[in-house]
Amino acid sequence: MKFGIIGAGVVGTALAVQLSKAGHECMGVHTRSRLSYERFRNYINKDHLLLEELVPAADVVFITTQDGMIRMMAEKLVEKALIIPGQVWIHCSGSLPSAVLRVKESLPVRCLSVHPLQAFASIDNALAILSGTHFGIEGEEADLGEEIVKDLGGIPHKIVADQKTLYHASAVVASNYLVVLAALAVELFVEAGIEEGEALTSLLPLMKGTLSNLEQVGLPLTLTGPIARGDVQVVKGHLDQLPTKLVEIYKGLGSKALELGESKRAIQGLTYPSDELNFLKSLLSR
């Protein structure tokens, strides 16, 4: 496969490096930023090319710009008449469907989305963890997407285009909102008198332990704590003491925890006593 990269960010650079290692040929890169190209060149020695040079040389074009630029870049390729029949255009956005690349219905190119389900802090970090990363694949060349993901050492999953927004929302909850939950926990620790600098350090082992349990025993069995135990007085105490701005968040999360608690007990052949369950539902009602 001869491929070109448009957008030399973390994902584009990491893909170029790994696909080249897998035996594919990088024809070059196009980016607006001199700094991003210099960084790209540090990892893979390929020329910076004009779009007019890069696109005709490639079988596959990866558009790895920021999400807001993907459609604009596809439109630019059309405006410049850089349309190679049978060529595959691929973007790596988790939120946008592959169809965002189809500026015109009559375009004789194939459109595909290949999204790494991972948060990359840097190029080095991406190169270290790309192998083993799960990918969401959606579009007209899903089989090619699977081959590319396997060449990257990843694990492919085909997703439905119409439901891609939910796929992305799931990723946001799992990654971004985990950070938000950590921030909320730190805020409560500070309220309890623990210094802010020590709060996150104190909570991280607990969070890592829970993630380890999720990996080992899965859902819903990993759930522990007062809602899982049915300890209504502890839950009531939390709600009595929580800062007002956090009460609704706690109730929303608690309601979901109660659903998991019921599922966990069902697996164990148990149920909540009816008065206990009703009290919890009442406490957590929004």
User: Is 111 in the same domain as 39?
Assistant: yes
Classify each residue of 225-244 as buried b or exposed e, where b means 16 or more C-beta atoms within 10 Å of its C-beta.
ebbbebebeebeebeeebee
* Res 286: pLDDT: 80
Let me know if residue 187 belongs to a domain: yes
Give 69's pLDDT tier (boundaries 50, 70, 90): very high
User: Is 155 in the same domain as 39?
Assistant: yes
* Res 236: pLDDT: 97
User: Is 154 in the same domain as 184?
Assistant: no
**Residue pLDDT, tens place only, 92-126:** 999 999 999 999 999 999 999 999 999 999 999 99
pLDDT value at 40 more than 90: yes
User: Is 65 in the same domain as 143?
Assistant: yes
User: Is 153 in the same domain as 19?
Assistant: yes
Task: Please compute the mean of the pLDDT values over residues 249-266 and round it to a whole number.
Answer: 98
The DSSP result for 217-269, as a single string, is: H-TTTT--SHHHHT-HHHHHHHHHHS-HHHHHHHHHHHHHHHHHHHHHHHHTT
Let me know if residue 169 belongs to a domain: no
Give 169's pLDDT tier (boundaries 50, 70, 90): very high
R_g of the chain computed on alpha carbons: 24
pLDDT value at 238 more than 90: yes
User: Is 193 in the same domain as 243?
Assistant: no
User: What is the 8-class DSSP label of residue 175?
Assistant: T
CA distances from 246 to 17, 55, 177, 183, 243 (A): 45, 51, 15, 12, 6
Phi and psi at residue 134, to the nearest 5°: -85, 145
User: Is 208 in the same domain as 273?
Assistant: no
Phi and psi at residue 231, to the nearest 5°: -85, 85
Task: Please compute the mean of the pLDDT values over residues 78-85 and round it to a whole number.
Answer: 96
* Res 274: pLDDT: 96
Helices marked H in 102-195:
123-129, 142-151, 164-174, 176-191
Share above pLDDT 70 across residues of the chain, in percent, rounded to a whole number: 100
**Residue pLDDT, tens place only, 206-231:** 999 999 999 999 999 999 999 999 99
User: Is 142 in the same domain as 156?
Assistant: yes
